[in-house]
Amino acid sequence: MANIYCTKKLEKLIGKKNMAANPSENLLGNWNANIFTFKQRKCLILVNEETYYSVLFLDVLKADILNFHHLFYERLIEQLTYDHIHFPHEYSPKILNDLQPIFLPTNNNRRILGVMNQFISDTVFHIDYFFEGKLADVDVSFINNKLTTDLVKALMVKGEGDTWTNGQPITAMKTKISECCHP
């Protein structure tokens, strides 16, 4: 099961009765989720705690959130495919089972919240810049790819001398999936 830690704002929308009490084990790690509005439309962003890989949902309805298990799997696979991140076909059932989301109350991970807020700000900028603010015209995979290919300081590690390792969420997710599928 995919553990999705919700911000207080999202927790309020989902309702306490739809929240799980305990996290479960999973391949891809925990996710944090936040809801934000753009032009009076609800949008949802999920960020993986380990890789900072994000999955973006635009123009979300409450019914979508309550039927989130199908939506999350489909949108994540769509984004992974767009980003050329593949896992072996024989792992599909395991990944499908592992991506059944369970909502949990906030874990108050300030580092993730900071990255999420930056991604939200970047999303708004990209929609305004590339799509002139027209939500109906937005290619969500394109915007999401922009977020995952930008450098994230929280992922960067100082190497020898003045060199830094790659701080791209897309690279970190490729590595994570490779480790999960080829232990």
Query: What's the token pair of residue 34?
Result: 């936040």
pLDDT in tens, 13-25: 888 888 888 888 8
Low-confidence spans in the chain with pLDDT less than 70? 91-92, 153-166, 182-183
- The phi, psi pair for 38, rounded to 5°, reads -135, 120
- Strand (E) positions, the chain? 2-6, 31-38, 41-48, 54-57, 101-104
**Quick check: pTM over 0.95?**
no
Q: Is the dihedral of CA 150, 154, 159, 162 positive or negative?
A: positive
Q: Is 57 left (phi over 0), alpha (psi -120 to 50) or beta?
A: beta
| pLDDT at position 67 | 81
* All residues at 6 or more sequence positions from 33 whose CB lies less than 8 Å from its CB, including other chains: 4, 5, 6, 7, 10, 44, 45, 46, 47, 103
The residue type found at 56 is: L
| pLDDT at position 84 | 93
Q: Which of 22, 28, 34 is nearest to 2 (CA)?
A: 28
Largest alpha-carbon pair distance within the chain?
Answer: 52
3-state helix, strand, coil in the chain (%, to 5): 50, 15, 35
